[in-house]
Structure 1
Amino acid sequence: MKKHLTFLILLILTAATGYGQSATSDADSKIVTFRFQPGKDMFVLKGNETELTRLYSLVDEYHGRITAGELPIRVDGYCASRATEKANLHTAYLRANRVKSELITQKGLKEGDFVTANYATAYNGDKDVVVVTLRIPVKKETAVVKEEPKTETRTETKPEPQPTVKEQPAAPVTEPVTETVPETPAPVRPYHFAVRTNVLYDAMLLPTLGVEWRINTDLGVKLDGSLAWWGGEHGKTMKVWLLNPEVRWYLLHDKRFYAGVSGSYGEYNIYKYMVGNILSKDTGYQGSLWSAGLTVGYQLYLSRSFSVDFNLGLGYVRSEYDSFGMTNGVRVYKDRDKTKNFWGPTQVGINLIWTIGGHK
């Protein structure tokens, strides 16, 4: 009885072990973990470089199956460092979206390529992480069953048995295996168009509005226009219009840094009104100017639709002007047909950008 019981237990254990192996062998989970700073939801590259590179490699390898809906990417946000459960869930939600935005921007994926969940708990002791999981189906090997050689015996009427003739097994036919190479996704424009305003010029009472057309991932064309039409008591005035075209080349992996070629042309009439008050306390200027130079800048992404653009231009500026003073409310000219040429800053800006179209 004991022998039978022992045999039954061993049989059950063997079946359970075989079932567990078959359940786990159907898919190989690739897990990538990103760590966040406690209480913050911004995705910081420092400290996550290795994991991000590994995730990029996996997405490149299985990009075709991901976009076809065969292999969704699971993104789980975990946060347990905030004061309340609601705050933890909200932070986990924002962090998961940061990671998804990075893949949408850099790898051309869509929202439908992800399965997202958020938890107000820690993950393996880490309170501030986002875990990305790809369950890669394991290729099942087909077992080749060898046919046993058939034995044919011939029985004759003679009393002595005849020798057995064995047939040789046919050689297995192997079919060529075609290796599928994952397609490399085409680069995606971060956006198609952008509407922008320079908040530095706006603060100096020189309202500025511009547009940018992103031709492709690397090239963009921008045009800004500024207009001020102010007047006040005692002859104070600031009447300025200015156009600033620019061609930009976006550089590096994330296409946020850029260099460009820009120019500008405009006319001005200023006296003691904001900009005029900065230049001189008792002299006004009326004339035109143009400039040409190089620009550099960097775009800081705030969300899918908004960014902040920091830029600086250096080059050549030429201005032709008349200068004047005011006596009893009447302009008295001091100099006529003067020119000013210098090398230096041609533009500076902190621009708020609203992007339209594309994937950021």
Structure 2
Amino acid sequence: MSRKITFLTLFLWLMTVTFPVIAQQKADTTCIFRFVPQKDMFYVPWKGNDTELARLLEYIENNKATILDGKLPLLVDGYCKSQGSKAENLATAKIRANRVKSELIIRAKIKEENFITRNHATEGDFVTVRLTVPVKETAVTDAEAEARLAAEPTVAGRRERQKAEAEKAAQQNTLANTPSETKITTDYHLSLRANLLRWAILTPDLGVEWRICPSWGIAVNGSWTSWSWSDKDRRYALWEVAPEVRYYMGEKKAWYLGAMFKTGQFNYKLSETGKQGDLMGGGITAGYQLRLNKALDLDFNLGLGYLNVDFEKYEVIDDVRVRRGNETKDWYGPINAGVTLVWKLF
């Protein structure tokens, strides 16, 4: 019992210490705000929008002077593909982009002129906001400078020219920076899971995963089986429950690291001597999710860690189970493996 208490303490410490360190990755300059299909209301706490908004507000605050000066515009792209026609999709994308801009204008104290907006009837139901690298100014002659000033004698005119130059530079990178259908693969909350390796050895396995946001998920898998043969002289029975916390990484959020806890009981009698007991342990997991289509993924995963097994030995004599002692074993190494079919529900 003391070993189990010690292990649980180490497991909780691992989750609270290791994962905040993993999560401290360098942020990019693109923020994605998700919308309910066919709706244009901007729900800030929904699907990680609050996290993205806080990240974007920090970017704006760090570059506010440059943004207000017109040298670093915010590129806003609205997307919608859930309406019935292209015109309706464009209209909804425009409203969504305006909702996000209004939130930024109010919170960050910036102006409409600090945005460059485009709307699209493709890709998905989201709005992206990007910060582009400031356009480098090239050297000009005195005559060219005088000509520009003559053509744009006002401050507003010069700002309009700078905005146009920034928009031109952004358009050159549109294909590279616009999120595509393959990039946004985590637009779901709940999925069902079945470890095909477990099913292959006649041990039914089912689970669920809740994606709190694109980067974080909580999964729970359970296995159960009960087989007997040779007039019940041979036995194979098992149940396990394995909760897991995952952190998804990369642009497509396909690779992940996790922390798993496992507990269960077993009863094996594959020879003259049977073993019956319980197990407890956990460790670090890693894996990759391969997208098959919009609804299905294949999850390849492996777990390494520690298992503590307490069991008693027994024999069956004249249909009576006779105890032959007990043992405790510790195992360090692989504790889990899976090729899991993931069905994304919503």
TM-score (structure 2 length as normaliser): 0.50
Find the structure with the greater CA-based Rg: 1
Higher helix share: 2
